[in-house]
């Protein structure tokens, strides 16, 4: 079985443009199962979104593998400065993947959460 594993660290500015460019390249070159992980520095969604704050991953045929068993979104980043939580780290997979996810966890680590799939 072929697996394409992609690790992304998005810049703190122009994230949406950067991620769209990376996802187009992934669609062009990926073979077999596709897993795309790490720090996107913005929120992703599988719903239509208004504004420029989120990127809709549904249009790329992707799903958030960390929500698969519970349907619950887990925060992965805490900003002490703003006293806010957000989810900016993801493990995405193609909707057509045959890989089965049994469990997804986030573990605390200095303001960020590590993800285990």
Q: What are the sequence ranges of the domains in the chain? A: 3-116
Closest CA to 77 of 105, 110, 53: 110
Q: Give the Cα separation of 102 and 115 in Å (integer).
A: 14
Q: Give the Cα separation of 62 and 95 in Å (integer).
A: 5
pTM for the complete prediction?
0.74
Least confident of 13-22, 45-54, 76-85: 45-54
Q: Give the Cα separation of 54 and 45 in Å (integer).
A: 7
Q: What is the mean pLDDT of residues 35-44?
A: 82
Placement of tokens 């900016």 in the chain:
88
Kindly tell me if the per-residue pLDDT of 70 is higher than 70: no
Is 3-116 CATH 3.60.10.10?
Answer: yes
Tokens at residue 94, please? Answer: 């193609």
């Amino acid at each position: 079985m072929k697996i394409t594993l992609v690790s992304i660290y998005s810049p703190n500015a122009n994230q949406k443009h950067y991620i769209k460019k990376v996802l187009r390249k992934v669609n062009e070159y990926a073979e077999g199962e596709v897993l795309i992980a790490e720090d996107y520095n913005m929120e992703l969604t599988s719903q239509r979104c208004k504004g420029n704050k989120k990127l809709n991953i549904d249009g790329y045929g992707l799903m958030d593998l960390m929500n698969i068993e519970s349907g619950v979104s887990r925060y992965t980043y805490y900003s002490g400065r703003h006293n806010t939580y957000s989810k900016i780290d993801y493990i995405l997979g193609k909707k057509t993947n045959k890989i089965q996810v049994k469990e997804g966890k986030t573990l605390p680590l200095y303001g960020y959460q590590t993800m285990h799939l």
